[in-house]
Copies of this chain bind each other. A is one copy, B any other.
Amino acid sequence: MSHYLGIDLGGTNIKAGVVSEDRRILAHGSVQTHGSAGIEAVINTMIEVGRSVTRQAGLKLDQIRAVGIGAPGTINLATGTIISMPNLVGWRQVPLRNRVVEALGRPAVLENDANAAAFGEFWAGAGRDEAIRHMVMLTLGTGIGTGLICDGRLIHGAYGAGGEGGHMIIQPGGRPCACGQFGCLEAYASATNTAHRAEEAIKSGEESVLVDSYHANGQELTAKEVFDAAAGGDDMAGRIIDETARYLGLACINICRFLDPQMIVFAGGMILAGEILFDRVRTAYASNRWHQMDTDHVRIVPAVLGNDAGLIGAAAVAWDADKTGRLRL
């Protein structure tokens, strides 16, 4: 039985875990990132928590087959270098993979954290059935991240900018997106933009049970409040989440036309809304029927790994590199 160490570097926390070949977490831990302490300190913390969870799992480092590292930002996969990172200041051209290899003496792989999380769901979560070889994951948060898995492999594209489905343009000339484009999926259907659209409706004078909490909270709402209000029968909130679901359904259609996956997995806090979200997304997907082929077999489902997706995903990426002969010291 091989064991893999997954380390997930986030802006707030560093999570690590030892995951066995049979997809069980043997030990895991989490510490604060303290990004302001600088690059060296953060790397040392990553290595420390990695050593610590290995001991917790009752293993020595040389019993770890490989280390997977998930990190946000733009990554040179071939060299294992972080090119830039949105959440931590000063991280430019950091050879993170090599630093981990030197410190732990084990082969390591560096992957974008959203891709790693998608691969984690594929390997050990919603897509763990081995009959699933084609899966797409959309993570609904501040933005919308996507991970594309085609015949068991992550799609990175030529320059590492593939799998950015949150920035497919779904409404030409539509809402401005933080990315510079107009009408991106993310500009409508992320958790943050679902809340923003409800705020805008209130600002324009629409009536809703959300008006009071909007004013009480400095003219801000959360996606959770909008979903709760919709579940309670509020018309404006219902319209807002219908629209979110409609755009997510359209996104599923476009994903199917490009990649024809067996499964589309939604992740992120917004999926806690449950069936009020998934029913609507499935209905929106089905309302635009494609006559060319029976494509009803795609399953639209929630992610199951929750907060562990990042570290399981990092370990899964190491497992995959091992199984496909891509491990390097």
Verify B163–A258 contact, CB threshold 8 A.
Answer: yes
Number of interface residues of A (CB under 8 A): 47
B289 near A162: Cβ-Cβ < 8 Å: no
A3 within 8 A of B: no
List A262-278 residues whose CB lies under 8 Å from chain B. Answer: 262
Main secondary structure of the interface of A (DSSP, over half): loop
CA–CA, A157 to B264, complex, Å? 13
B165 touches A258 (CB 8 A): yes
User: Which of the segments A46-54, A111-119, A166-174 contacts the partner chain?
Assistant: A166-174
Tell me whether B172 and A261 are in contact (CB under 8 A): no
Bound together, the chains give a CA A59 to CA B207 distance in angstroms of 80
Instruction: Select the stretch in A19-27, A178-186, A220-228, A308-316 that faces chain B.
Output: A178-186
Q: Does A217 contact B (CB under 8 A)?
A: no
Give A168's nearest chain B residue, CB to CB: B254
CB closest chain-B residue, reference A246: B172
- Give the docked Cα–Cα distance between A262 and B160 (Å): 11
Query: Which B residues are CB-close (under 8 A) to A161?
Result: 256-257, 260, 292-293, 295
Closest residue on chain B to residue A184 by CB atoms: B257
A288 in contact (CB, < 8 A): yes
A127 to chain B: closest CB distance in Å? 12
Pairwise interchain contact A155-B291, C-beta atoms closer than 8 A: no
A253 at the interface (CB under 8 A from B): yes
Residues of B within 8 A of A280 (CB): none
B254 near A254: Cβ-Cβ < 8 Å: yes
Q: Within residues 198 to 229 of chain A, which ones have a CB less than 8 A from any CB in chain B?
A: none
Flag if A150 contacts B155 (CB, 8 Å).
yes
A167 to B289 alpha-carbon distance, docked (Å):
11
A15 close to B (CB within 8 Å): no
* Complex Cα–Cα for A166 and B172 (A): 16
Contact of A169 among B134, B160, B262, B288 (CB under 8 A): B288
A119-155: CB near B (< 8 Å → 1, else 0) gives 0000000000000011000000000000010100001
A61 near B: Cβ within 8 Å? Answer: no
A159's closest neighbor in chain B, by CB?
B260
A150: chain B residues within 8 A (beta carbon): 150, 155, 157, 162
Instruction: Determine the distance from Cα of A259 to Cα of B250 in the docked complex, in whole angstroms.
Output: 18
* Binary contact track A21-53/B, C-beta < 8 Å → 1, others 0: 000000000000000000000000000000000
Residue of B nearest to A83 (CB): B293
Apart from the given pairs A165-B258, A181-B288, 8 other A-B contacts in the complex at a CB distance below 8 Å: A161-B292, A161-B293, A162-B257, A162-B258, A164-B258, A167-B292, A168-B258, A179-B290
Q: List 15 A-B contacts (CB under 8 A).
A: A150-B157, A150-B162, A155-B259, A157-B256, A159-B260, A159-B262, A161-B295, A167-B257, A167-B290, A168-B254, A179-B290, A180-B289, A180-B290, A180-B292, A181-B290
